[in-house]
Amino acid sequence: LAQISICRDLPNIEVITFSVNGISDLEPLNQCQNLSELYLRKNNIASLNELFYLKNLPRLRVLWLSENPCCGSDPHHYRMTVLRNLPSLQKLDNQAVTEEELSQALVDGEEITAPPARRNVENGCPESTESSAAESTTETESELLNFSLEETNKIREELGMKPVPRDKFSSFSPRETDCNRKKRNNVLNAILLLMKELDAEGLEIIQQTVGRRLQALQKKELQEE
């Protein structure tokens, strides 16, 4: 299972998409000095103190953090606290940041000066948590696919790759369990992130390997039919 800890080995990564993945700890991101866009919608981030690990990322301009436990019940306090600690953001939760908000954040936002107390929780698929139970009832399959498709295609665009057509993306089988889908998304994101570190020769090797793998799968499908 690919975890957010892979980011420790990718200090030059610029865009990270880990939405709907059970992530609770942002500490591995504090080395990603070139990070400009971070998508963390619907995870298990419990405390806004996790923002401590993002405060020293000089190029971070886009953050999507909504639908995490840390957002709490007061959307104004949440937004003001994020902007007080990350005043270089241009977009928070798909909403543009204004100069007025940045000024207001100095009054209404809470300054974060220390990381959260460490928890003994592994990032991955929670066995049974309130957030995952709520997730299964409040988010439809198509909604999840739309977000995953949008964010995956953003990474593919960064890599100079063609976008994934929606019909191909949704064919990743809605019959999968929630945990299996998250595992596959984690692996897919990890591969896309790592590909950004490769040169032309490395990408050609990946292309050849994927081609052979696809041929083998297609052959297997024909045999099964």
CATH number, residue 27 = 3.80.10.10
Residue 25 lies in a domain: yes
> Which of 43 and 152 is assigned the larger pLDDT?
43
pTM for the predicted model, two decimal places: 0.55
* pLDDT tens column, 140-176: 445 555 556 676 677 667 667 677 666 555 444 444 4
Q: Is residue 75 part of a domain?
A: yes
Q: What does the pLDDT look like over 9-27, one tens digit per residue?
A: 777 788 888 888 888 889 9
In a domain, 79, yes or no: yes
Q: Could you give the number of structural domains in the chain?
A: 1
Within a domain: 11: yes
* Neighbour count for residue 90 (Cβ, 10 Å): 11
Model pLDDT, residue 12:
79
Question: What average pLDDT does the chain have?
Answer: 77
70 touches 46 (CB < 8 A): yes
The string of DSSP letters for 83-142 reads: HHH-TT-SEETTEE--HHHHHHHHHHSPPP-SPPPP----SS--SS-HHHHHHHHHS-HH
Could you tell me which residue, 154 or 76, shows the higher pLDDT? Answer: 76
Residue 179: Cβ-neighbour burial (10 angstroms; 0-12, 13-18, 19+): middle
- Please give the Cα distance from 183 to 172 (Å, whole number): 12
Q: Which residue has the higher pLDDT, 145 or 186?
A: 186
pLDDT digits (tens, 9 = 90+) for 108-135: 999 999 988 865 544 444 443 344 444 4
Is 203 domain-assigned? no
Quick one: pLDDT at residue 225? 67
pLDDT at 198: 80
Is the pLDDT assigned to residue 181 strictly greater than 70? Answer: no
Which one is predicted more confidently, 196 or 53?
53
Q: Is 110 exposed, middle or buried (0-12, 13-18, 19+ CB in 10 A)?
A: middle
Residues shown for the chain = 225
Range of the domain at 13: 5-108
| 184 domain-assigned | no
Predicted local distance difference test score (pLDDT) of residue 199: 84
For residue 187, being part of any structural domain is answered with no
Looking at residue 142, what is its pLDDT?
A: 53
Per-residue confidence at 75, pLDDT binned at 50, 70, 90? very high
Q: What percent of the chain has pLDDT above 90?
A: 36
**Residue 192, domain member (yes or no):** no
Tokens of 12: 């030059």
DSSP 137-179: HHS-HHHHHHHHHHHHHHHHHHTTPPPPPHHHHHTS-TTS-HH
pLDDT at 18: 82
The predicted model gives 31-39 an average pLDDT of: 91
Sequence-ordered list of residues with C-beta below 8 angstroms from that of 185, at least 6 positions apart, any chain: 20, 21, 148
Task: Please give the angle made by the CA atoms of 142, 148 and 151, to the nearest 5 degrees.
Answer: 140
